[in-house]
Chain A
Amino acid sequence: MTDQVVGDTGRGSRGSARLAAAEAASPSGVRTIDYTPQRFNPTPSRRYYFYMMAPSIILLAGISIYPFIWLVYMSLHTLGEAGQPDVWNDFKNFTRFATDGKFQQGWLLLIKYSAMCMVLEVGLGVFLAVILNRSKLEKFLVTLILMPMMMAPIITGLVWLFLYNGAFGWYHWLLQSIGILGATSVLGDSDIAMFGLVAVDVWQWTPLITLITLAGLKRVPQDQLEANMVDGAGPVRNFFTVAMPNIYPFLLIAVLLRFMDNFRFIDAILILTGGGPGDATNILPVYLFDVSFQYFKLGRGAAVALTLLLVTIVLGMLLVKIFEDPKRKIKVHGGDEG
């Protein structure tokens, strides 16, 4: 019924004057044309787009593709020291993983560390964003909240090193006086050290999630929220049914960024524990650092790095896929918690 409106064009005064042989009035009384133009105008060339992009493509290739090829090469060889030739070693760098306890433990610790960081940061970040979005002091508070993120991770590490210090650390004193901490210091206890590191990461990077989520919240249409309220939803339900679907794409970017950062930002960890006590915080990137730059087993280090890279890519793609499929997003949510 609504389609009738569209059909009302046609039979212009010019058209009927030039009614060509190929044109015929259709039964519905609308003038139709069944031929194509004799000559099409040329499509504008898009080649110069490529020329415009070429410099950055070359630059990118130089700084990321070339080193990547080198990484693959290194992971397949035992690198000769001091001018000796590199030797092909029949994937020994990789086969050794099967018996490398620190490598396997590194993975487990990395998963534990990432999962804890992610859940806390997303939960806290979204919560803060919702509060900020309603606050009248939003601009001021956003500036305030962003401060930890502005800090170089190495400085963050040093600051928290002092805060956790067993002799004069403020947090150490606080935790001890409320009875959570025994005689040991936070970073000295192999049961607690991991949580100490997670706290640092959450402190520094929750603001990023907040900032990105806030941008998403701004985009949530007010009238949809209101319509849902009139339909009968309370504030909590309203947030999960209307606001959440709107901020999912933003949250995806935030989670993806944090996810990759967790695999490579180890500055603070190196400062705070260096993988200790024992190997309690020796997550894979730290182990990779040790292998490559403490023991200078560059071939093995390259192999570790390559597996890390592959897992990052696969997990990243998986994450994007899950977030993009609206039917499965509920499951992701459940999966995050567990």
Chain B
Amino acid sequence: MVEVNIQNVWKYYGKTVAVKELNLKCPENSFLAILGPSGCGKSSTLRMLAGLEHISAGDIFFGDLRVNQLPPKERDIAMVFENYALYPHKTVFENMANPLRLRNVNREEIDKRVRRAAELLQIEMLLDRKPMQLSGGQKQRTAIGRAIVREPKVFLFDEPIAHLDAKLRAHMRGELKHLQRRLETTTIYVTHDQLEAMSMADNIAVMHEGVLQQFGTPSEIYNHPANEWVAGFVGEPPMNFLNCRLERGADGVVAVHPSFRLALTDAQRRLLEEKGAEAEVRLGVRPDTIAYRAGAGSGLGIAAKVFVTEPLGGDMIVEVQLGADRITVKTKIGPSANLDEPCTIAFDAARIHLFAASNGIAYF
């Protein structure tokens, strides 16, 4: 319904700074996830959007309207809280009706809207219960119901499904995304779970230590991380990093590690030249792009030793000792290997990332 625009926003709590120079734009009706570890400033950002925290510096716009000075009730937003924040003495119906009652909507309209929201969330049969009698998932649906009855301009979600068990969380991810697509409301969703951000959002803003690290679509964030920190934070299991040296050989540019030499592609070489790469680099490889075979001399280029294997049913995580470094490989399930058993691995040069060793900024 409205574009959300955060311009040069800072947040101080006394002398500690929580958010630094944040610039973000959430296009109309799109789903923005703010992703980061705890203490990265993502919740502070959301609370400033909600009007629950003072904006220390900078401006927030909803469309053309500057909302800095507006109290929460005048911002036309709805928020779902981490611990649901249901009113324990009110029934589910009354909880959901609360925003409407506070805006003096008439009785029939309240009844109609609450029942419609309850139907959408499949909690019609719970309307007479108190929050204490609900399961975690039902509480969460009620909290979402309270947010959607009013058709606000912006939805704010503060880790709404973080406290559900793993299976229900996976289920609710799909439901929430479906709901957002159906209601077509600008949504800002704060989470520390990269899976939630990747699976639901149109755009992701990755934050760390109060600073926006990268803004982009989930695919951009995953495939073209802006720096080493983003690359390491997004992806499960996390990306492996190895210290390498770039050398110019007869076969073009080669990344040299004590255990292997990896020739880069022409496209990668051009990118390095464009960006004036230093010789010392960090090589980033995602675990699922590494080929693995058990046994000595099993045919892949790089000889290594097995540190431990972790079977996961269909897949297997193998931790491999490569000289002084240990890297994680994700492969199809195979026989478990004993400790220190020899194996071979290979990297796919087209799917590696290189970061400057000095500041972690990505070359590609």
Contact = CB atoms under 8 A, between A and B. Distances in A.
Interface of A: 1-2, 5, 8, 221, 223-224, 226-234, 237, 241-242, 245, 326
B165 interface: yes
Contact of B99 (A226, A232, A242, A326): A232
A1 B87 CA distance: 24
B353 interface: no
Contacts of B137: 2, 5
Given A5-B168, A223-B81, A237-B102, A229 B89 contact: no
Nearest to A226: B52
Contact of A230 (B72, B87, B122, B135): B72
Contact of A2 (B50, B71, B83, B135): B135
Given A2-B138, A245-B89, A326-B89, A228 B81 contact: no
A228 B89 CA distance: 14
A245 B131 CA distance: 15
A230 B73 contact: yes
Nearest to B99: A231
Given A229-B73, A231-B146, A5 B167 contact: yes
B285 interface: no
A230 B165 contact: no
Nearest to B166: A5
Nearest to A221: B85
A241 B86 CA distance: 12
B103 interface: yes
Given A224-B85, A232-B102, A234-B71, 20 more contacts: A1-B122, A2-B137, A2-B171, A5-B137, A223-B83, A226-B50, A226-B72, A227-B85, A229-B51, A229-B52, A229-B71, A229-B72, A230-B51, A230-B72, A231-B73, A231-B98, A232-B99, A233-B73, A245-B87, A245-B88
Contacts of B87: 224, 227-228, 241-242, 245
Contacts of B138: 2
A5 B79 CA distance: 26
Contacts of A326: 89
B200 interface: no
Contacts of A228: 87, 98, 102
B67 to A, nearest CB: 13
Contacts, number: 73
A233 B99 CA distance: 8
- By size class, the interface of chain B is 20 to 34
A241 B87 CA distance: 9
B72, B79, B82 pick with most chain A CB within 10 angstroms: B72
Interface in B135-172: 135, 137-138, 146, 156, 165, 167-168, 171
B55 interface: no
A5 B138 CA distance: 13
B205 interface: no
Contacts of A237: 102
A227 B73 contact: no
B73 A232 contact: yes
Given A5-B168, A245-B89, A227 B81 contact: yes
Contacts of B73: 229-234
A223 B85 contact: yes
A2, A226, A228, A229 pick with most chain B CB within 10 angstroms: A2
Contacts of B156: 230
A5 B52 contact: no
| 8 nearest A-B residue pairs (beta carbon) | A227-B85, A223-B85, A232-B102, A231-B99, A232-B73, A2-B137, A229-B72, A230-B79
Contacts of A230: 50-52, 72-73, 77-79, 156
Contacts of B51: 229-230
Contacts of A245: 87-89
Nearest to A225: B85
Contacts of A2: 135, 137-138, 168, 171
Contacts of A5: 137, 165, 167-168, 171
A228 to B, nearest CB: 7
Contact of A227 (B79, B103, B168): B79
Nearest to A242: B87
Contacts of B50: 226, 230
Contacts of B102: 228, 231-233, 237
23 contacts: A1-B122, A1-B171, A2-B135, A8-B167, A221-B83, A221-B85, A223-B81, A223-B83, A223-B85, A226-B50, A226-B85, A227-B79, A227-B87, A228-B102, A230-B73, A231-B102, A233-B73, A233-B102, A234-B71, A242-B87, A245-B87, A245-B88, A245-B89
Contacts of A232: 72-73, 99, 102-103
A2 B134 CA distance: 11
A230 B102 CA distance: 10
A8 B165 CA distance: 12
Nearest to B102: A232
A326 B73 CA distance: 27
A23 to B, nearest CB: 25
A227 B88 CA distance: 13
Interface string B65-109: 000000111000111011101111100000000110011000000
A228 B102 CA distance: 9
A8 to B, nearest CB: 7
A216 to B, nearest CB: 14
A232 B149 CA distance: 13
